[in-house]
Structure 1
Amino acid sequence: MVPPLSSLLATACILSFFAPIPRVTSTDILTLGSSLPVEAYQTSILQSQDGTFSCGFYSVYTNAFTFSIWYSKAGKIVWSANRDRPVHVRRSAITLQKNGNMILTDYDETVVWQADGNFTNVQNAQLLNTGNLIIKDSSGSTVWQSFDSPTDTFLPTQHITASVKLVPTNELHGPGNYIFRFSDFSALSLIYNVPEVSDIYWPDPDQTLYQDGRNQYNSTRLGFLDNSGKLASSDFADGQPLVAADAGGNIKRRLTLDPDGNLRLYSLNESDWSWSVSMQAMSQPCNIHGLCGPNGICHYSPKPTCSCPPGYVMRNKDFWGSDQQHLLSLSFQQCRNICISDCTCKGFQYQEGLLIKFGSGEKIKFLEQGTLQ
């Protein structure tokens, strides 16, 4: 028997009346001696005064959380205190201790992260409208700030200095194999970095810094993303910045080093809270070192896609760093013979008379195409 409509409505009203509705309480201030527990991650957070950014515990997978800052409505993490070491769902907490230090403890009270600084006369911690989490002393001076220890993202007004770098987040929420920082030549650079090799792929390594529009050996190392979408740096020739396609004010932005090794500037569409790319460092992603692994072929279809030559299978080891020898003014047949006669040659790349031999390993079947990317 189907109950009358009035009974269904009454039941619905009773159920909704008794259903617990979490009430989010937020402030931009964490007072001295207070904590945010992970159990209250849905109901207790820090939030910037204008509501743009939130700070607290962010669920990265089941029963695991990072203490992070994120865009409140867009849900994009822009900083994490413990990206490599999430904490458990119970009894973990972030605490601004009475001695002024901020510590993150796991369920067993193990300290998994703490702020580094000279903490004297600390008054409170505050999440600013810029997305910067700061610890202030009684005079209002900043004694620690999250802007000094970025993870994979720079925000507008955040300074890019010689002491900071971006490292992308991989699928396991750990650090990836790419770095964005100032190089030894004081040039903002994208670097492929694994135990076997470390090399720069942006600016274009096949050109000089001057050809890439950079100043070499500049003793100043300072970059800056402003609110209009301009990325300026002390090494940019004539001070010319990189500019977003939608340059202008009143747009929320983030500069992020993505897991694929490309540096992208994202703009937020507040009508649907979606992100779009307004600038990127690498217009041809296939030129990103290590993107397709050893002997991998990167092609566009239309997005970058990795594949193997016949007789190869994918494996997690990079092709870059295996260069054995560079020779000029050779024919394709000469290159073929040199590689075949050398038992340490794994393959070669031939282009316009340039031979690059790749070694380290057993001899393999020669590829008739003669080219590897």
Structure 2
Amino acid sequence: MASAISYILFLSIFSSAFALGAAQPRQSNISLDTSLHTTTNPTSWHSPNGRFAFGFYPEGTGFSIGIWLVPSPENSTVIWTADRDDPPVTKDAVLKLTTEGLKLLLQNSEERLISNISTGNNASSASMLDSGNFVIYDSNSDVIWETFDHPTDTIMAGQVLGAGSQLVSGASETNHSSGKFHLILLNDGNLVLYPVASPDGSEDSYYDSQTSGKGYQSLNLDDKGWLYLLNDNVTYNLTSGYQSGTALVYRATLGVDGIFRLYSHDLESNTEQVLKKFPDVTDPCAVKGTCGLNSYCSTSANGQVVCTCLPGFDYLDANRTSNGCRRNFTASGCYSNNDNTTYMSTVYNVAWTEFSYTAPLSVTSKEDCGEACLKDCNCDAALFSDNTCRKQLFPLRYGKTDDSTTTFIKLVNISPAAAPVVTIRRKFSAKILIVSAAIIACIISSLVALIFFFYRYRAGRYRRLWRNKEPALVDEIAPRSFSYRELREATDGFKEELGKGAFGTVFKGTLPRGQRVIAVKKLEKVVDEGEREFRTEMRTIGRTHHRNLVRLLGFCDEGTNRLLVYEYMSNGSLADLIFKADGHPSWDERVRIALDIARGIHYLHEECETRIIHCDIKPPNILMDDNWTAKISDFGLAKLLMPSQTITFTGIRGTRGYLAPEWHKNAPITVKADVYSFGIVLLEIVCCRQSMELEADEEDAIILLDWVHNCFMDGELEKLVADEVDMTELNRLVKVGLWCTQSEPGARPSMKNVVTMLETNVDISLPPPPGFSS
């Protein structure tokens, strides 16, 4: 066995040395004073085989310097980043090879070295090698600096991670700054994964190679996919060997989720494959630190991680719920008191890594465990499992769902009526209990009486409205069924056309008796479904009640005639308002309208009884009422289209210019498609122009999204608006629009977060370019 291992090592070392020695003369092709630029060629230096590139790549609103695998989709597999925790540079930055090394030239004559060459050595040339290593040579062609010595989150075949060295995950798929997890080869030879924000103790690790005390000095990856620990001539294999070939490239990367993965890239088919995972788990909550302090991890039905705060805690950052939680009350000194304001709140089925400050207690019930913590001045929380109680201090760490553990959290300064889930509290006196019972009895009696009179009144109104056959009844109950004859008479034979859209033509009408003005939409090419199914769909749409949605008053489904009756919107559409040449709404009105639309979409996505994906958010589908309140129309109708009916493209439901990229990729369509469309509409509202204008004054302004991003990156937002606006608010709205229009659905915010960003002055991080993902 030892001889075989020695033979493998000999071949590996020999082949690596041969490849490097043979290739270096033709690879030393970057001479002194050669420069790279962010947007004009050259932007990068490529390896001779064309697999790797070193240079500028888009990150956030600017550019970072790194190395990436060229054949990967959109060149998005970044394997190394320079100065990863510095902010991205602007587009006027220049990278130059000087005798001091790689020098970054910035605005105002600022300079920064990104390669730390030891004193006494001068750079003479550099190379991007076929291995993925960027090296700098002195005048003797000796390597004096290389990226392989300064790994970020990845090691490549031929690269060595020495004892005491580490890999640190990226912050996100599109942000390559330092993230939440790191992989360390300890000096005792154990390879361990920890959360970054931890003491790196044994209780903090979520994976180790179980090689403690073996003295392994390096983590190695060879060109056959062997990932192994090495100590002199003794190896410990973490993986078996895989295929080798001229088209295969291997890398091992610590992902943003804390999983260390071995990948193979087949450059001929431009595909990648995960060969091994450390740890090999399917539940993301098994990775400690996935959720921050004082929060616990669970997974939703679609496999997404959900981080939930403890009772009495709020998120540190509502936009980044995985960052952990902090107390929303102040506890000074000992907060176990006798004034009935200290409670124990219960969280069921959540386990934590235990950091008990006392020996475990043997108890006979959960209640005894909670009571023990309640009486202890120092106790913040208690964990109960297997009749054992363990007292804890905040913060609690690494919480995840578990069927065997009950958690008790001590809360203070919360009135009994406002306390969340309370299972143990101080006993009230008999007098307080009697008074409380009397008050509750009075409240219940009053509620019963109110409910009785309310429903009696409602029933009477229902009967009156039904007799009058007025659609006002749907304001409180459900959409009314109209006959085709009624709607033909109401519209005077469908005489006055208000507009024509993807779903059909809209006519103005008036109902008798109440002289109520309505809009009647004649649906075209709808799904040929039964009467019961159509009525069910109408009632689903009719149950959506929100001030920013156009109300469905009724419908008709006689034979092939399918018509919808809506409230009439007197002030036309948003398109009429913002695209007309004779004047635009004021800035404050535009901001209010954008918030109206966002609230309406949020209701459709998260708050109505049946969640609805609109599929065609655009200005013509946003209507304005008498008070200029924006209301969304045509929601819930996408599923009524026949399979052959399209709005712009076959198989696609939406309108050119507002379609999310996933429509063109045959990918699943989620609510994030509406978020993308809203982002385009938001930018149109801000700029009072359409998403595409072929006759734009400047060529780079034809596509609105590209123009907005360029102006944002160049700090020239004033070009976007013709009137005087609040520049801080303009910057905020543009950021929201750019986040909503990210190419990857997962990078877009939810509409709930969009509403929050528009309503409040929360800090909004810099969005990456809409078309770039990594």
Aligned to 1:346: 380
Tell me by how many angstroms 1:340 deviates. 2.9
* Residues 77-96 of structure 1 aligned to structure 2 (within 5 Å): 77-96=78-97
Report the Cα distance in structure 1 between the residues aligned to 2:296 and 2:137, rounded to whole angstroms. Answer: 50
| Cα separation, 2, equivalents of 1:227 and 1:300 | 39
1:147 maps to 2:179 = no
Give the CA deviation at 1:66.
0.9
CA distance in 2, matches of 1:354, 1:106: 61
Alpha-carbon spacing, 1:176–1:70, altered in 2? closer, same or farther (3 Å):
same
**Equivalent residues in 2 for 1:232-311, closer than 5 Å:** 232-234=228-230, 239-243=235-239, 247-250=242-245, 251-270=248-267, 273-284=270-281, 285-293=284-292, 294-299=294-299, 301=301, 303=303, 305-308=305-308, 311=311
Q: Which residue of 1 aligns with 2:324?
A: 317
Q: Distance in 1 between matches of 2:108 and 2:137?
A: 29
Higher mean C-alpha displacement, 294-303 vs 311-320: 311-320
8 Å Cα contact 1:322-1:359 kept in structure 2: no
CA distance in 2, matches of 1:88, 1:263: 29
Find the aligned partners of 2:266 and 2:304 in 1 and give their Cα distance. Answer: 25
* 2:181 alignment partner in structure 1: 178
Instruction: Check conservation: 1:227, 1:249, Cα contact below 8 A.
Output: yes
Cα drift, residue 28 of structure 1: 6.7
Separation in 1, partners of 2:37, 2:159: 28
Which consecutive segments of 4 or more residues in structure 1 shift more than 6 A?
318-322, 365-368
Question: What is residue 33 of structure 1 aligned with on the other side?
Answer: 33
Shift of 1:153: 0.9
CA distance in 2, matches of 1:141, 1:340: 68
Alignment equivalent of 1:358, drawn from 376, 383, 392: 392
CA distance in 2, matches of 1:278, 1:54: 24
Q: CA 1:189/1:107 → structure 2, altered by over 3 Å: closer, same or farther?
A: same
Identity of aligned residues (%): 22
Within 5 Å, which residues of 2 pair with 1:156-235?
Answer: 156-171=157-172, 172-194=175-197, 197-199=199-201, 214-234=210-230
Instruction: Say which is worse superposed, 122-131 or 213-222, in terms of deviation.
Output: 213-222
- Where 1:122 maps in the other structure, the secondary structure is coil
Matching of residues 20-99 of structure 1 within 5 Å: 29-40=29-40, 43-62=42-61, 64-74=62-72, 75=75, 76-97=77-98, 99=99
Counterpart residue number, 2:103: 103
Paired with 1:366 and 1:193, the residues of 2 have a C-alpha distance of 33
Deviations along 1:7-49, whole A, 9 cap, x unmatched?
Answer: xxxxxxxxxxxxxxxxxxxx87321222222242x54421111
Match of 1:350, SS state, is strand
Specify the code of the residue in structure 2 equivalent to 1:67.
Answer: I
Higher mean C-alpha displacement, 157-166 vs 184-193 = 184-193
The verdict on how the C-alpha distance between 1:255 and 1:202 changes in structure 2, with shifts beyond 3 A counting, is: farther
SS in 2 for 1:277: strand
Q: For residue 288 of structure 2, give the secondary structure of its aligned residue in structure 1.
A: coil
Contact 1:90–1:107, Cα closer than 8 Å, also in 2: no
Q: Deviations over 1:130-187 (max 9, x none)?
A: 1000011232211110001111111111001025321111134421121111225331
Mind listing any 5+ residue stretches in structure 1 that lack a counterpart? Answer: 1-26, 206-211, 369-373
Q: SS of the residue aligned with 1:117?
A: coil
In terms of fraction of residues, the more strand-rich structure is 1
Amino acid corresponding to residue 220 of structure 2 in structure 1: F
Query: How big is the shift at 1:188?
Result: 1.2
Cross-structure match for 2:135:
134
When structure 1 is superposed on structure 2, of 281-290 and 69-78 the one drifting more is 281-290
Name the CA distance, whole Å, in 2 between partners of 1:44 and 1:295.
43
Provide closer, same or farther for how the CA distance between residues 337 and 257 of structure 1 changes in structure 2, counting only shifts above 3 A: same
TM-score by length of 2: 0.39
**Structure 1 residues 59 and 329, CA gap change in structure 2 (3 angstroms):** same
**1: CA distance, partners of 2:104 / 2:66:** 11
On the 8 A contact 1:178/1:192 being kept in 2, the answer is yes
Secondary structure of 1:337's counterpart equals helix
The AA in structure 2 aligned to 1:231 is L
Q: Which amino acid aligns with 2:244?
A: G
- The verdict on how the C-alpha distance between 1:70 and 1:216 changes in structure 2, with shifts beyond 3 A counting, is same
Query: Residue deviations 1:318-337, cap 9 Å, x none?
Result: 79888243644734535333
Deviations 1:186-237 (A, max 9, x none): 311112122x6444578657xxxxxx763323444211011222210148xx
Q: Name the amino acid aligned to 2:237.
A: P
More deviation, 180-189/325-334:
325-334
Higher Cα Rg: structure 1 or 2? 2
**How far apart in 2 are the matches of 1:48 and 1:202?**
40
Q: Deviations over 1:327-354 (max 9, x none)?
A: 4473453533322323443333334455
Q: Separation in 1 of the partners of 2:82 and 2:268?
A: 30
Kept after mapping to 2: 8 A contact 1:152/1:166: yes
How much does 1:355 deviate? 4.0
Distance, in Å, in 2 between the alignment partners of 1:280 and 1:37 is 37
**Structure whose residues are more often helix by fraction:** 2
Once residues 34 and 79 of structure 1 are traced to their aligned partners in structure 2, the CA distance between those partners, rounded to angstroms, is 21
Instruction: Give the partner amino acid of 1:338.
Output: A
The 8 Å contact of residues 190 and 209 in structure 2, kept in 1 or not, is answered as: no
Which stretch shifts more, 102-111 or 329-338? 329-338
AA at the equivalent of 2:256? P
Amino acid in the other structure paired with 1:94 = L
Change (3 A) 1:94 1:189: same
Name the structure 1 match of 2:3.
none
Distance 1:318 1:186, change over 3 A: farther
Quickly say closer, same or farther: Cα 1:295–1:57, change in 2 above 3 A: closer
Which amino acid counterpart does residue 303 of structure 1 have in structure 2? G
> Following the alignment from structure 1 to structure 2, what is the Cα–Cα distance between the partners of residues 28 and 57?
20
Match of 1:337 among 371, 378, 397: 371
2:439 matched residue in structure 1:
none
Q: Deviations over 1:48-93 (max 9, x none)?
A: 111110111111133x111111001112110111222244334311
Letter in structure 2 aligned against 1:47: H
TM-score with structure 1 setting the length? 0.76
Secondary structure in 2 aligned to 1:229? coil
Offset at residue 295 of structure 1 (A): 3.4
Counterpart Cα distance in 2 of 1:107 and 1:29 = 28
Which whole-Å CA distance do the structure 1 matches of 2:79 and 2:56 have between them?
Answer: 13
In 2, Cα distance between equivalents of 1:213 and 1:220: 11
- The 1:91–1:149 alpha-carbon spacing in structure 2 relative to 1, beyond 3 Å, is same
Q: Contact 1:33–1:95 (CA<8 Å) still a contact in 2?
A: yes
Separation of aligned partners in 2, 1:309 and 1:85: 31
Q: What is the RMSD of the two structures over their aligned residues, measured on CA atoms?
A: 3.3
SS at 2:262 equivalent: strand
Q: Which residue identity lines up with residue 117 of structure 2 in the other structure? A: G
| 1:232 maps to amino acid | Y
- Cα distance, 1:355–1:179 mapped onto 2, change above 3 Å: farther
SS in 1 for 2:68: strand
Measure the CA separation in 1 of the matches of 2:384 and 2:201: 21
